Amino acid sequence: MPNNQTKRLAHGAMMIALFTIFIAIAFYVPIISLVATLFAPLPLAWYSAKYDRKSSLLVAFIGCIITFFFGGLLIIPFSLIFAAVGFVIGDALRLKRSKVFLLMSTGMTVLITFAIQYVISLKLLETDFIKESMVLMRESYEKSIEISQNLTGQVAIDEKTLNIMFDTMEILIPASITIAVFFFSFIIISLNLPMLKRLGVNVPKFSAFKNMRLPKAVLWYYLIVLTINLFISPESGTALYVICLNFSLILWFLLTLQGISLIHFILDAYGSPKFLKVLATIMAIPLYSFFVLIGIVDLGFDIRSIIKGKIQK
């Protein structure tokens, strides 16, 4: 027992040191900061996967406290997010959860910690960094339009259209942040799980992207939002309008992924070269409406079984 306790303490101290180094590099070193950011949760994830929840929480808490001495209060929000992510990833691996659960729990952890820090910033520091970012983005966009106008002599976009564009962007901030957070979580999981596997941790696997099947509830949510938009037509600026617009963006994104997955399935079933999958994925950006339709059809009908049946014949 004393040997196990000593090993746990030594391992915890080492993981705290590694976590602090990653956070310090991510915070202070410009060139390799992105790499350090992506692998910052790794030490705590490794520890959480091997030891109980109480010990893992303590190590994550001490890791955040130690980073304070390197960057002060400014570094704490940064370290809190990655400490929480590392703990959640490791805890899910220790409990042998699926990779989908891992993605959802990691994404929700990032969203919750980000929301808490945003509220603290808003209430205590009286700083709305999201609003300030939008102001900076608008100023940058207006300057680029002015430069373009000076060079070409033509107005690229009028003031009314610009206002509508930025008003829409502000309304879609919740959905945009949600999509960005889950995409970021997917990248972190995809990069860290192979490293954890090399360190002796059993990690789950995603099924092939071509076999991705969203819950049919997504289709019902889409139909509900579509019905509200068609028959109720919420007035711009109202709460219902904001909710529907944000839900629409998230559902469009999910259905686009479902459509791309079906295209990958069809191409793979007919033995098409891999570059066609890459081309189809790239084409999904300008043709997202078409891929949303494909995703709807894929969820509504058993297209894959029909394709399998035709190939077997």
In a domain, 137, yes or no: no
Same domain? 8 vs 124: yes
**pLDDT tens over the chain, length 313 residues:** 456 777 888 888 999 999 999 998 988 887 888 889 899 999 999 999 999 899 999 999 999 999 888 877 778 888 999 999 999 999 999 998 888 889 899 999 999 988 888 888 777 777 777 788 878 887 887 787 777 777 776 666 767 777 777 888 888 888 888 999 999 999 999 999 999 999 888 888 877 888 888 888 888 999 999 899 888 888 877 888 888 889 999 999 999 999 999 888 888 887 788 888 888 889 888 888 899 999 888 888 877 877 777 776 5
Return the CATH number at 59: 1.10.1760
In a domain, 41, yes or no: yes
Same domain? 284 vs 236: yes
Same domain? 64 vs 191: yes
Q: Which amino acid is at 137?
A: M
Same domain? 25 vs 50: yes
Q: Which two tokens stand for residue 129?
A: 């960094």
Count of domains in the chain?
A: 2
In a domain, 203, yes or no: no
Same domain? 98 vs 238: no
Q: End of a domain among 169, 198, 227?
A: 198
With CA atoms as reference, report the closest residue to 191 among 53, 74, 36, 39. 39
- Read off the pTM: 0.84
| SS3 per-residue string spanning 76-142 | HHHHHHHHHHHHHHHHHHHCCCCHHHHHHHHHHHHHHHHHHHHHHHHHCCCCCHHHHHHHHHHHHHH
In a domain, 23, yes or no: yes
Containing structural domain, residue 260: 209-312
CB 258 within 8 A of CB 295: yes
Question: Where would I find the beta strands (DSSP E) of the chain?
Answer: none
In a domain, 169, yes or no: no
Same domain? 7 vs 114: yes
Q: Which amino acid is at 222?
A: Y
